Amino acid sequence: MMRMLKGISPVCLLVVCSFIAQVFPLLSTVYPMSRKEHVEVPENYGGSLPLYLKKVNLAVDGQANIQLVGNEEGLFGIEPESGILYVTRPLDREKQAFYTLQVIAKDEDEQPVSDPVTIMITVKDENDNMPVLTEEVFSGILSKGTKQGTSFVHVSAIDFDDPSTPNADLQYKILTQTPRQPSENMFEINSRTGAVFLSAEGSSLLNSSEVSNYQLIVQVKDLGNQSLGYRALATVEITIVENTWIAPSPVLLQENLNVTYPKIISQVHWNSREVHYSLKENFPQGLFSIDPAGNIYVTQELDRESQAEYEIQVFAENQDGMLYSDPLLLLLTVLDENDNMPVFTQDVYQVAIEENTAKGSEIITVKAEDIDDPNTNNAKIVYEILSQKPQASTGFSFHIGNETGIVTLQDSGLNASAVKQYHLLVLVADLVGHEGGLNSTCTVFITILDVNDNPPVFSQTKYGPFPFPEDTEVGTLITTITATDEDEEKRFKSIVFAVESGNEDRTFRIVNEPPNGTVSIWLEQELDYETVQEYRLIVSARNEEKLVGKELDASSTATVHILVKDVNEAPVLTKEKYEISILENIEPGTLLLTVKAADPDIFNTPSLSYSLRNDTLNWFSIDEYSGEVKVMQVLDRETVKDIYLMQVVVQDKASPSMTVSTDIVIHILDVNDNPPYLVGDYSASYLCTPQREKQSIIISAFDQDGAENSIPFSFSLANDPTHQRNWRINIINDTHAYLIMGISWLEPKLHLVPIILKDSGIPSQTQHVHLPVTICLCTTEGQCMQEVGRMEGRPTVLSAVSIIVGTIGAIGIFLLIIFVHLSLLGANKKKTNKACDMMPLQSTA
């Protein structure tokens, strides 16, 4: 509704709403709303008439004309004054069960004066109809083999009374059975439906009974299980017949049969008047059917390849859908027709074989399938090679098994260099290849793979000789040699080289370049003519992949001849560096060490000379011929700080440019040959008298010897009672100490304090010093305020006063000059101003 209103404009909606508001009251007047009331009237009323039913209440003021609408037959009436509704004669429910009346009150103008009242009248049923049988005699055919409980005939009756009441509730019952053999209870009847069926006892006795006809008297009564009610008797004639429910013969049916459909293929029969046939199995709906006579049809052509066999179940049922007996099985076999060609499982087959594959080897198996009946020639297939590309001179290089599809090699001379791939066209045909059969083809690509069946070969077996001087630099290229391989595959052409002999000392290094088939020989270690004068390297070439079918021969090795040329070489030292430790007080003339060198040119007469270099202090000497190094002067460790470096140069006299040098590192060990001494300026230091708390002078000592012969230092006072009384020394650390006053008062003057310094060497060194210490009177802030004697270099009082007076006098003279200059400038300015004041007066005169 909302979707409908979306397309309507607001103006249209307003008009519609206004129309409804005006028309609705009119509709209410013409078709007034009414209330409903229900009345039940007994059927076939036998009392006095009219029979008053109920009072109809109409809200009417004053006179009104009461009308009864729907009373065309005049069966009902209503009293105008009381409004009581009545019926004028008995009613028959079977003729009409319901009546609808409308009571309307109108004024003189025939306009309604109140809401109408609708009266719904129901005629209450009375059991005034007896059951009526649908047939005079009911007959049924009972086939032997019928299941117990399956009905084969129905007794039926109708009752015109109200079916919703017991008046029409019919019950069926067998009164008599004739004959009573072999049992009087051969049959039963469904009390509600009237279905007649074999009892359990009758089912077990029927097949052996010789009775062919039975008559049953069946009672039909209404009012259900009540004892009262109307009754009717029915006669049921039953004929016993033999069982004709026999499985049909198997059916053979050609596939793709071109006939008119549906086509009868079989027939079944159940001996009964009430029978319904049906089929059931796993086939498409509507493929098979059965008619009421039991004829079974196929409705269309069959395809054996879709389904070759059918098991069709046939059912015989009564009208209630119950089986008379177990279903029958119809077997249908579809006969094959050669309507399917053989098809390869692949359109294209690909396979790769090595070129050295043996003749007769199986290469690949092609496979085709024919979905026709495998038990007939329609599905018996054979294979054949139709063509080969490229064609071999002797025919086909390959053969295929006629029945197996196995492709085998017929040619033992495959060569990947000549043919890299073969293309076979293979045919498959059914009917064993006979004329009229169906066929198809596939393509087989056979790739010939190269194998490593060709060894690498050097272009020549000997290379060189290659002369190189013995001083050739390491890393120099000696030569590059090449080998070739006739295989096609790149991986089979990749060559690895190795030196088999002649390089046991690893003088040379080879660098492989497998893709290029080359090897470079490089100098890895220095050449030495005196050791080896020539090299003969045996180099082998082989593939990275394993060689197939052949062995390496002499063509896969080569000899590289290298000659070493003699070069005059520099002398060679037996040691790269000499290092020795000696005491600094070693005696001059002492032998320290001997430097030894040799001439590597063993074929020349050695003539070497030794000399020193960088002996800056000329402390040492060396023998020119023996290389002996001796001490020439007294050493001083403190001059060189522990280590003295110099070089020994060895020269070949025959070739002066041929030299070699080595370092001599001499560690000069310290000897305690220096006493400690005070360091620092103590001239500005002073102590206050009387003695003040925490006042001291820090003194420091130093020793030029090494640590093992110097620190810690010992600080002590001279062994004099006065000094021992007046002063105290307190050690701070290995090199410093506090000097403090030993008593509270000392005379204010310059004191010389005798101090003894001693180092830790063995034997130790001692130094006696006199430390000048100023003692003075001090201000409260601790400043020295009394002259206690002039120290060397300090000004006297007279000189200080003279300097101050001179400075003040110079400042005074300078201030006097400035004052006079300013005074003169002021006088000149006044004269100028007076002259300016007089000028206007002269001008006016």
What is the four-CA torsion angle of 607, 612, 613, 615, rounded to 10 degrees? Answer: 180
Question: Would you tell me how many other CB atoms lie within 10 Å of the CB of residue 336?
Answer: 22
Tokens of 726: 């007046």
- What is 132-241's CATH number? 2.60.40.60
Q: Which CATH architecture has domain 36-124?
A: Sandwich (2.60)
Residues 591 and 610: their CA atoms lie apart, in Å, by 15
* Strand pairing report for 251-254 and 328-335: parallel
Chain segment 596-625, per-residue pLDDT in tens: 988 777 766 668 899 999 999 999 999 999
Superfamily of domain 572-669: Cadherins (2.60.40.60)
* Strand pairing report for 462-469 and 557-565: parallel
Q: Of the CATH numbers 3.30.70.20, 1.20.1250.20, 3.40.30.10, 2.60.40.60, which one belongs to the domain with range 457-565?
A: 2.60.40.60
State the amino acid at position 781 in one-letter form. Answer: E
The CATH number of domain 251-335 is 2.60.40.60 = yes
* SS3 at position 39: strand
Tokens of 829: 């300015």
Residues 713 and 736: their CA atoms lie apart, in Å, by 8
Kindly list the domain boundaries of the chain, sorted by start residue.
36-124, 132-241, 251-335, 343-449, 457-565, 572-669, 677-785
Residues 453 and 485: their CA atoms lie apart, in Å, by 10
Residues 646 and 612: their CA atoms lie apart, in Å, by 7
Cβ-based burial of 166 (10 A; exposed 0-12, middle 13-18, buried ≥19) = middle
The CATH number of domain 677-785 is 1.10.8.100 = no
**Which residues share a beta bridge with 458?**
483
Fill in the DSSP letter of residue 113: -
The half-sphere exposure of 472 on its side-chain side, counting CA atoms within 13 A, is 23
Under-70 pLDDT residues of the chain: 1-34, 549, 554, 603-606, 786-807, 819-845
Domains 251-335 and 677-785 share a fold: yes
Specify whether the backbone of 386 is left (phi greater than 0), alpha (psi in -120 to 50) or beta. alpha
Tokens of 329: 């099985």
The answer to whether the Cα torsion of 621, 624, 626, 627 is positive or negative is: positive
The pLDDT value given to residue 453: 79
Residues 555 and 519: their CA atoms lie apart, in Å, by 16
Which residue is it, tokens 């015989």? Answer: 316
* Strand pairing report for 117-124 and 98-106: antiparallel
Q: What angle do CA 325, 327, 332 make, to 5 degrees?
A: 155
8 A C-beta contact, residue 78 and residue 72: no
**Which residues share a beta bridge with 480?**
520
Q: Which CATH architecture has domain 343-449?
A: Sandwich (2.60)
8 A C-beta contact, residue 296 and residue 249: no
Which secondary structure element, helix H or strand E, spans residue 10, and what is its range? helix 10-30
Residues 197 and 155: their CA atoms lie apart, in Å, by 11
DSSP string, 705-739: S-GGGSPSPEEEE-S-HHHHHHEEEEE-SSSEEEE
Strands ordered across the beta sheet of 76-78: 51-55, 84-87, 76-78
Residues 281 and 289: their CA atoms lie apart, in Å, by 11
Which residue is it, tokens 């490593």? Answer: 452
